[in-house]
Structure 1
Amino acid sequence: MQTFHPKHFAIVPAAGSGTRMASDLPKQYLPLLGQPLIRHALTTLCAAPEIDKVFVVLSVGDAQWRQYDWRALGPKLVPLFCGGATRADSVLAGLRAIAGETAASDWILVHDAARPCLAPWHIDKLIRELAHDEVGGLLAVPVADTLKRADAHRHVAATLPRDSLWQAQTPQMFRYIMLRRALEGCSAVTDEASAIEAAGLRPRLVEGDATNLKVTYPLDLHLAEWILNNREGLNR
């Protein structure tokens, strides 16, 4: 009897504006080592042998994408101009757009456009550890710092125990039909795992590392540049 092997598709929502970066240019197009920031993660995703296609979900009126030459990333890369107002809206629009070429049990890896330091071993570990998981999961790192909850005046209201707390990263990997139904049922979320949780399921945490940095503030660009320039010397 023939064994079915699910495919792996990546979705990168990139319809946002990145208002906290203090720049008129959308964050995903800010220059990083001579390339638009988003290109670094796309290069890693397109080079991953486990991933069949990489879909970038852009805003309908995106005028920046076509100003760059993406051909070197190969035929895996497919832009979709159907992004929404939020990350969840963009991911759901992307899932709907690719419905004709995905099976219900295929894996979807959603990755932040603003995480340029994604490495091949991040993808390998996520796919390997979730291959037989019924729900799926996400890369994450245990919280190392002491956490404070602030009141309305930025005074400390409480110190939170950090035991069992993890900082979510991406990619987040779930079955196509499971993720689509979860987002259709709960779109007021900031990541895919939250939608899966709202559906009553428990995503698995796959330990990543701090090099999978999300660029949120201007200083983060310098940190990302250092990581990319020194990647070969970092522990995996």
Structure 2
Amino acid sequence: MSSASGRDALPKTTSPDAAARFASVGSPYFGIMLAFMAVVLILSNIGASKGVVLGPIVTDGGFFLFPLAYILGDVISEVYGFKVARKAIFTTFALSVFASLCYWVIILLPGFDDEFGVSKQAALEGALGPVPQIVLASLLAFLAGQTINSWILVKMKARSGEKSLWARIMGSSVAGEVVDTLIFCSFAASVIGITDFGTFVNYVVAGFVYKTLAEFILVPVTALVIRWMKRREPSYGAAA
């Protein structure tokens, strides 16, 4: 007979049959995840301004980054609850809007008028110029999709307690990605050069399938991170 002990042992109150519990924001882990979430979103917004063709699939340059933001959202929602997740969503997008405003100022600043300066200015305008439109699309899409994702995950947790983690991660992800992909693609398609309906449908379907499958494939990793966080948050499960 053995018993779990030390920091790697879940609190006794977080048994599979326990009611839903959440941690308070009192450790450095939330701040680290929030910073990473913001960086991932800012970079994905820049990458999304480039259209990408992978065989028959039409997507954008931020496709490999964006699912990470949703995975972080799942971790924050599961460990800290809906109110904290909502705060993370709004904070992330405030930083993303700030980054977009900085790009706009950088483009407007007068540069060198030699050949190198002119080419550099054109490159900046081409790379960062479309980002405000992408940020608007991302703002509306992620705000709606991530809020729905977090709300459903927390509601499912209220019913199942600490059980069925995989089910609530996957179920909330599908709902969130449907809303996110439809809104984002509708705004972003023209920015990356998609003009015909067939290519737009390809863009929407490919985006939804990819992002959802990526989250599903990474569910074991997400679950491990969640369990790791729960073990190291002193307040998780502290209240009976």
TM-score w.r.t. length of structure 2: 0.23
Structure showing greater Rg: 2
From the two aligned structures, give the one with the greater helix fraction: 2
Would you tell me which structure has more strand in proportion to its own residues?
1
Structure with the greater relative contact order (CA < 8 A, sep ≥ 6): 1 or 2? 2
